[in-house]
Amino acid sequence: MRSELYIDGKWMAAANGGKFEVINPATEEVIHKIAAATAEDVDVAVKAARRAFDKDGWPKLSGAQRAKYLRAIAEGIRARQAEIARLEVLDNGKPFPEAEWDIADAAGCFEFYAGLAEQIDDNPEEPIALPDPRFTSKAVKEPIGVAGAIIPWNYPLLMAAWKVAPALAAGCTVVLKPAEVTSLTALELAAIADEAGLPPGVLNIVTGSGSVAGQAIIDHKGVDKLAFTGSGSVGSKIMAAAARDIKRVSLELGGKSPFAVFDDADIDEAVEWIMFGIFWNQGQVCSATSRVLVQEGIYDRLLARLLEETKKIKIGNGLEEGVLLGPLVSQRQHEQVLAAIEAAKAAGATIACGGKRPESFDKGYYLEPTVLTDVPLESDAWREEIFGPVLCIRPFATEEEAIELANDSRFGLAAAVMSKDDVRAERVAAGFRAGIVWINCSQPTFTEAPWGGYKESGIGRELGRWGLENYLETKQITKYVSEDPWGWYIKPAVRA
C-alpha cells in the first residue's frame, strides 16, 4: 500500500511529515498511515500541474497521443483489478464483487475517454457562417487548464476516473484530492499512471483533510477549474470560493431520489429494484432511490415482500463470500445514520425492520438494512439525504400525486418509475424534475450517458461527451480574408 503524496512524477512525504490513519471499517483496526498534505504540498502540486500545462506541452499533444496514455492506464487497472478491489474493500467496506465491478468500470472510463480524445483530432474546429463575406470564423475547443478535483469516499477509484479521465483526454492537467477516509486506491492510480509513462506534473495526487488540502486546492489561484463530488454544504462553499477568481466549477452533489411503483408492476421485480436502489454500496450512493412511492393497490403486498427479502440480506466483512451488505465507511458515518434513524422515530416514523447494529457484530461500522414507514412528509428522514441503507416508503393514490410527491424536494439528481404501461412510464419520467430518470429499473449507470442533477443536486454533467466538455473552453477565431482595404470604422451591421 502506498503512503506518500504523488507530485510532479515523484513520491514524497508531506512537507511537515504529517500522516493520518487508515481504518478498516469492518474491523475498526488501523491498517495503514498516509501522508497528510499541507497547503505547501498543494502549492507544489499545482505549480507542477501549471508547468505541465503551460510549458511542457501536455495540451499540445494530439488527442491520439493522449489516448495512448489513457489506454495504458486502463490496461494497468485491469491487470491489477482483483488486488485493487481488495484494497477498496479494506478502505471502504463494500462487498468484494461490488468493488470488482467498480474497478472494471474505472478502467472502462479511461478507455471511453481515450476514444473521445481521438475524436478531438477528427473535429478540431467548427466553421461558423457569417453574414459578411470579408470574414471567416471558426470555433475551437481548448483545455481549460489546471483542474482541481475533489472526490468522495463512496466509489473511491471510480470517482477518480470520472474526473481524471475526461480532464486528461481534454488536455488538462490535474491535482486530485481523494477523500481522507478512502485514499488507498487513488494512490494506486498514481502508481499505474506513473508506470504508463504519464509525463511529470500531468497528474498529481495529494491525500489529506478537506479542511487543509482540499481548501488549499479550492483557494489556489493556479487552479483554473474545480470539479467536486460530495455534499451540498461543501459544494456551496466551493462555489462561493470559486466566485472570487471566477473559476470554472462543476458540482455533483446530494440527492433524495424518488422511486414510484404503479399497481400494474410485477411486485417481485419491483422489490429487487427497490433493494438495489437503496442497499447497494450500503446505501452510500448519491443517487440512491431512498424515497419509495407505491400505489395503494399493491402497497401492503409489496411492503410485505420487501421486508421479507430485506431480512435475508447477508451482512458482514466485504471480503467474505456471499456478503451483500458491508459496514458503513467510518465511525462518523455510522453515528450519523443511526442518529438519522432515531430522529425519524422521534418524528413519528415506524421502523418496519432494521434500524440498529446487528447483534452478531461488536466491532465494525455495521448497520441492519432499514425500512421506515409512516414517515412524515416534512421530516428530515423524508427530505434529507441519510446516505446509508435506510429506505422511506409510503403509498400514493394517483399518478399526479406520485409526481407531486417525487418533485417536492430541494434535490433533483435521480428518479425512477416502474409500470408495465410504457406510455404512463414515459409520461411520469417526463414529469420528474431530475437529471437522471430510470424506467423499470434503478441505478444502472453508463459511462456514455450524462450524469448530474437539477436544483441543489449540482451544476454541470459528468460522463459521456458532457464530461469531456466540462474541461474544455470554446474559442472564437475570426479572420479578415478580403483584399479590400479596411479602415478603422467598423460598420454597425458588422458589429452586430
Phi first, then psi, for residue 106 (nearest 5°) are -65, -45
Residues 413/254, Cβ–Cβ less than 8 Å? yes
State how far the Cα of 71 lies from the Cα of 112, in Å rounded to an integer: 9
The residue written with cell numbers 504519464 in the block is 198
C-beta separation of 257 from 433 below 8 A: no
Tell me the C-alpha to C-alpha distance, in Å, between residue 59 and each of 125, 141, 168: 16, 11, 9
Rounded-to-integer distance, Cα 495 and Cα 153, Å: 51
> How, if at all, do strands 225-229 and 248-252 pair?
parallel
Residue 347 to residue 375: CA distance in whole angstroms: 8
| Dihedral sign for Cα atoms in the order 153, 182, 169, 83 | negative
Report the alpha-carbon distance of residue 421 to residue 493 in Å, rounded. Answer: 55
Q: How many CA atoms lie within 13 A of 47 on its CB side?
A: 6
Question: In 3D, which of 466, 447, 467 has the Cα closest to residue 167?
Answer: 467
The residues, any chain, with a CB within 8 Å of residue 317's CB and separated by 6 or more, are: 26, 27, 323, 326, 327, 364
**Strand, coil or helix: 113:** helix
CA 173 – CA 186 distance, rounded (Å) = 16
Which residue in 98, 111, 252, 456 is the catalytic one? 252
Cell of 429: 419520467
400 is catalytic: no
Q: Active-site residues: which are they? A: 252
